Structure 1
């Protein structure tokens, strides 16, 4: 590990732990102040967020929505820093759900379930809620540098009750399939492709690429593929379960299934654009066809986590 990486990891971990010591209101105020400074700085991530939101937000509202979205993004970080010490009863009490019977019925039938989520709201919060109230879950995370930071992310999510696999390992799909085959719950972020194996979809009215893994896993295991979207409301967060995507095992079926997922994401982002934290290139018009998405300079640790 380089000195810079070591210092970055140490500062990150120290901040992570110190934020837990602050009263909740003070922590939220601190991160709102950070968000305002980040927005005012108008760096590449803010510019990319504005460009992405411009697909769904009218020009006259775009600056205000982008500012609010940066605040929502920093709220995610504030809560994620505090989640390991957050009493689970309080987290559950502040979680609102819509149609959670969809996932409960699938798991009760012993079929397992594959959940696909966008980068909305706080998926770590949603995962902690699911592990407490529904079932332990398995997910996939990209390996970060430095390794210490990746290890902290994995330990953090395991403390919340999640089983975390490293993206790119040769047996990831087999382990996910085994988990689902045993009646388990798998949750995968699915609104941005980090490989060269994504499928083309229409998202927010434009061509984009999304990972085909959720659809392929559902087809392989015969488990339902359930889109889930998240949004904030003051001190609460809503977890909305959408109708399962119909299975399509014909040629190109994975693309058509992921298009149904993209349609659910499009509707939710249109209703709650402030809570879509997409600070990277996701639309085909913004992508260099020769660029490896795994080495996108717009990426950050937050979105590198699955």
Structure 2
């Protein structure tokens, strides 16, 4: 994938969107923390009331996540409200990421089981850190990078080229994270980064629309990206599951799990499915424990569950 040809009317729409979004984000970035959090909470309450579409997905997803132990209506309402609040606060924090440094990072987050990263780096094969849209995943990467980790993330290109460039600027310049697009053109850079003993962070918890594989996720066959598995199997880089969790004091616990290395067989596709099934199983545990911190609760994760649902989707929109 790469840059796509933009029609004139699309170009104007994207430009107008950027003219509004970018200055607003700069204003948000300059707000005092208390003011920003208060504004985020107010916006969260408003969107909970008016955002019918995404709220609908949240309730449907909760029925799947807690199929064995259904929530009451009040429990579901309270949980979804907290989801909007956590998302709004996370968005504010994203634009404030420029204020976090290696020296003051402990005021915002702390690492747990970081020794797994250090041990893997001694092997010289790079690391694939697989995380999800839980807590504040941007802090996860940025704080690690500012503390000296040679870290890069794989991101999806936004359709709007102006906001895409702006969001990448925030990650690279403010967050100090190297970015690669989830595109063929960037694969050489991704592989080179791993071979140079770098850390690649990947999020794979949302529906993957471009040639997905189907593996279990909360008991349902789910369209899933296979990138983490293929990188692991082809380049022998260990997979380390990592999660960002907001604690009661407002800080984030950035925790790592024991490295995962899949025993290879002669059936590559089977191995890919088994690796992604393992990753989804780890997602399940943390999402069940912290469902209100899972941004993808508002995402139509199980809207399409069959291969035929993706037949008419352009797998290379760029």
Q: Tell me the TM-score normalised to structure 2 length.
A: 0.86
Report Cα offsets for 1:14-69 as digits up to 9, x if no partner: 11110122110110010110011101113212221222233234331111101101
1:247 maps to: 262
Write out aligned runs for 1:89-100 (5 A): 89-100=103-114
Shift of 1:270: 0.9
- 1:162 paired with 2:180, answer no
Write out aligned runs for 1:56-135 (5 A): 56-57=65-66, 58-60=70-72, 61-135=75-149
In 2, the alpha carbon distance for the partners of 1:105 and 1:258 equals 23
1:5 maps to: 14
1:37 maps to: 46
- 1:212 paired with 2:226, answer yes
In 2, the alpha carbon distance for the partners of 1:239 and 1:293 equals 39
Secondary structure of 1:246 counterpart: coil
* Unaligned residue ranges in structure 2 (runs of 5+): 1-9
2:275 maps to: 257
Shift of 1:123: 1.3
Report Cα offsets for 1:260-283 as digits up to 9, x if no partner: 111111111111111101122222
Shift of 1:88: 4.2
- 11-20 or 56-65, larger mean C-alpha shift: 56-65
Residues 86 and 18 of structure 1: is their aligned pair in 2 closer, same or farther, counting only changes over 3 Å? farther
Size of the aligned set, in residue pairs, is 295
Determine which of 26, 42, 49 is the counterpart of 2:35. 26
1:299 maps to: none
In 1, the alpha carbon distance for the partners of 2:60 and 2:180 equals 32
In 2, the alpha carbon distance for the partners of 1:46 and 1:284 equals 14
In 2, the alpha carbon distance for the partners of 1:249 and 1:193 equals 26
Secondary structure of 2:214 counterpart: strand
Secondary structure of 2:231 counterpart: helix
Residues 161 and 136 of structure 1: is their aligned pair in 2 closer, same or farther, counting only changes over 3 Å? farther
From the CA coordinates, give the structure whose radius of gyration is larger.
Answer: 2
Determine which of 58, 63, 87 is the counterpart of 1:54. 63
1:267 maps to: 285
Aligned CA RMSD, in angstroms, stands at: 2.2
Q: Tell me the TM-score normalised to structure 1 length.
A: 0.89
In 2, the alpha carbon distance for the partners of 1:292 and 1:15 equals 38
Q: Is the 8 A contact 1:72 1:274 kept in 2?
A: yes
- 187-196 or 108-117, larger mean C-alpha shift: 187-196
Report Cα offsets for 1:89-119 as digits up to 9, x if no partner: 3334321222111112111332210011111
Q: Is the 8 A contact 1:195 1:293 kept in 2?
A: no
Determine which of 162, 174, 178 is the counterpart of 1:148. 162
* Unaligned residue ranges in structure 1 (runs of 5+): 297-306
